[in-house]
Amino acid sequence: MPNTRPKYSVIADQLMRDIRDNRLTVGSLLPTENDLMRAFGVSRHTVRAAVQDLKSRGIVATRQGQGSKVISATGQAAFAERIQSIDQLIAFGQETRRELLSRETVEADEETARRFGCEPGRRLAKVRMLRRSLDGDRKIALVTLWMNTLLDEIVTELAHAQRSAAEIIRERFGLDTNVVEQAISADRLDEDTAAILDAEPGSPALIVTRAYFESRDDEPFLLARSIYTADALRVVSTFVAPGRA
Amino acid sequence: MPNTRPKYSVIADQLMRDIRDNRLTVGSLLPTENDLMRAFGVSRHTVRAAVQDLKSRGIVATRQGQGSKVISATGQAAFAERIQSIDQLIAFGQETRRELLSRETVEADEETARRFGCEPGRRLAKVRMLRRSLDGDRKIALVTLWMNTLLDEIVTELAHAQRSAAEIIRERFGLDTNVVEQAISADRLDEDTAAILDAEPGSPALIVTRAYFESRDDEPFLLARSIYTADALRVVSTFVAPGRA
DNA sequence: TTCGAAAATTTATACGGACAACCGAATGAA
DNA sequence: TTCATTCGGTTGTCCGTATAAATTTTCGAA
C-alpha cells in the first residue's frame, strides 16, 4: 500500500476530532496511554507520539502522575516566527518546503511600482510559490515575489534548495540584505488564494509583506508578500530594553 | 540518588552549546543520529529525543534521507530592532482615545494563568477598553488588560490620560518595563467583539497580545490583548543588520 | 559523456520491555 | 481529627530491534 498515513498521525487526528466535536471536552483528561494503546491496538510508543503531536500543537498538556489534559480545542498556531535579527528573519524560509506555482514577467502596476520605487510599466519578474510544512503536507502560505528580471534565474534554485531568496541572491549576485521592511495586516482570503491553501474563501488571513534592501537609500531588490491562513502563523517578537535582560 | 538531568536534555544542551560556540555552524548538518549515538554512548531513541528538543526550539530542521540541519543559532542577539519606546511598538495611523468599557476582578482561567505564569484561580484585575479615533467616532480596537489587583488603581488614570499603561505603572509603582513579548495573529471577529466594534461578525481581525515584564525571568505584570478590525491597523517594522544601515 | 537504475546513507515509524518519578487516594497511627 | 506513609495508577526516561521512506551517491549501460 503506497501512501498510508503514519499511525500516530491518524490517532492524533482522531483525538483532535474527538476534542473538536466535544466527545472529549476542554478541561477533561485524555484517556490514559494504556487505554489508548488498547483502544487503537498500537504500542505505547505510538500513543506517545500522537500525544506529543497534540502537545506540540498546544491542544493538550501532560503531567507526570496525573494524566494528559485537554487545554484547548483549537490549539495555538503551528508556526511561531521569532524575529530578533535579520538573520533569523531570513532563516525562517528554511523551515518550510517550497513549491513553484507560477513564474512570469509582468509590468509593474501602480502600487507595486510605488513600493518598488520605480516607474509603472517597468518589467518585473513575478513568482508565486506555495510554502508547505516540512513534516506533513500542511499548506502554510502563498508567497508572491517580485524582483528585477535580472534576478529571475534564482527561481529554479529557490524551488529546489532550502535556502532563502536573500541567501541565494547574495551568493549569486553579491547583493547583501541589510535592511528589511516588514508590514503585517489581516484580510479575508479571496477565492483563488483560498483554493490554493485549501481554506474557506472569506476566512481570515495574515498578510506579511517584506521589502529587502541592500542599503536604506536604495530601491528594494526584492518584494515578497506571504498570505498565511490565520491558524498557520503567529508572529512573535520579543523586545528588550537596551542594557537590561 | 540525586536527581540527574535526563540524558536527552544534557545532549540537547551540549549541541546547543556547540552551535552557539560555532563548533556547529548554522547551515551545516548535525552529526547523524548514528554518530551521536556513538559519541554520547546512548541509544538512538535518546538521540532522537534530543534532536526533537532542538527541533521544537526552532534550532534545527530534520529531513528524511538528508540529515538534520542547523537553521538558527540561539544566543546571538545583536539586536536589530529600532524602537524608541514601548509605545512605538505599534505604529498607529492616528492617535486614539480610550473609553472604559468594564472593570472587574476575575479568577484566572487556564490559559490566562499559563500566560501569566501563575496558578489558575488567582484573582486578577480585568479591564476592557475601547480605542477610538480622536476625530470622529471610528472604533479602532477592543483592548483587554489583565493585571495584578494591586495595579488596578491605574485604570481611572488610564481612561482619561493619553499615556500608556506601562508608563503609568512605572510612575506609580516604580515598575520598569524592560521586556515585552508581542504576538500577532489573525482571527474572525466573534459576535460580541464585532458588536462592540460596529463590524460584521466573522470579518477578519488582527489580534495583538503583549506581555510586559520587568525582567525576562519574572512573571509579566501586565497582559494586554488588542483586537483590531482588519482595516484599522497595519503593523510596520524595519529590521536593520547590525553595523550597517 | 550522459542518464537511469541500484546501492548506500539517513531520518521516520513502530514494535517490544524495564524502571523511575510523580500524583492522588487510601490507610493507619497519633 | 490530623498527619505521615503506603500504594496503585500515570506519565517520563531509556534501552533494544526492525522495517519503511526519502535523499544522495555510485555505477553500469548506452
Q: Which of B212, B83, B197, B115 is nearest to B154 (CA)?
A: B212
B150 in contact with chain A, both atoms CB, cutoff 8 A = no
> A26, A85, A189: best mutation site toward chain B, by most B Cβ within 10 Å?
A85
Q: Is B189 or A4 the better-scoring residue by pLDDT?
A: B189
B66 touches strand D (CB under 7 A): yes
- Whether B65 CB is under 7 Å from strand C: yes
Least CB-CB distance to A234: which of B79, B184, B245? B184
**CA quadruple B53, A132, A94, A212: dihedral, nearest 10:** -140
Which chain A residues are closer than 8 Å to B109 by Cβ?
Answer: none
- Cβ–Cβ contacts within 10 Å for residue A17, how many? 11
| CA distance linking residue A166 with residue A178, whole number of Å | 10
Q: Residues A190-208: pLDDT tens digits? A: 999 999 998 999 999 999 8
Residue A75 pLDDT grade (very low, low, confident, very high; cuts 50, 70, 90): low
pLDDT in tens, B1-11: 335 789 999 99
Q: Residues B188-212: what's their mean pLDDT?
A: 91
> How many angstroms is C1' of C11 away from CA of B13?
21
Of the given ranges (B27-31, B105-109, B172-176), which has the lowest mean pLDDT?
B172-176
Which position has the higher pLDDT, A72 or A43? A43
Q: Is the dihedral of CA B196, B198, B199, B201 positive or negative?
A: positive
Question: What's the Rg (C-alpha) of chain A?
Answer: 22
Test A187 with B177 for CB contact under 8 angstroms. Answer: no
Residue B215 has its nearest CB partner, among A84, A86, A244, at A244
Residues in CB range of B106: below 8 A, 6 or more apart = B123, B124, B126
How confident is residue A162, by pLDDT bands cut at 50, 70 and 90? Answer: low
A33-40 vs A7-20: helix axis angle to the nearest 10?
110
> Which residue does chain A place closest to B63, by CA atoms?
A134
Domains, chain A, with CATH or none? 7-70 (1.10.10.10), 80-236 (3.40.1410.10)
The answer to whether A245 faces chain B, any CB pair under 8 Å, is yes
Asked if A204 lies within 8 A of B215 by C-beta distance, the reply is: no
Chain A closest-CA separation from residue B241 CA (Å): 5
B-proximal residues of A, 75-104, CB under 8 Å: 77, 80, 82-89, 91, 94-95
Side-chain-facing half-sphere of A116: CA atoms under 13 Å: 25
Average pLDDT over residues A54-69: 88
**Nucleic strand C near CB of residue A65 (< 7 Å):** yes
Q: What are phi and psi of A207, to 5 degrees?
A: -115, 120
Q: How confident is the model at residue B142 (pLDDT cuts 50, 70, 90)?
A: very high
Decide if pLDDT at B171 tops 80.
Answer: no
At residue A239, the pLDDT reads 66
C-alpha cell of residue B85? 519606546
What pLDDT sits at residue A76?
58
Matching residue, cell 503551528: A78
Most trustworthy range by pLDDT among A39-53, A81-95, B107-121, B168-182: A39-53
pLDDT digits (tens, 9 = 90+) for B46-103: 999 999 988 877 788 888 889 998 876 653 332 234 443 444 444 443 456 778 888 8
**For A76, which residue in chain B has the nearest alpha carbon?**
B185
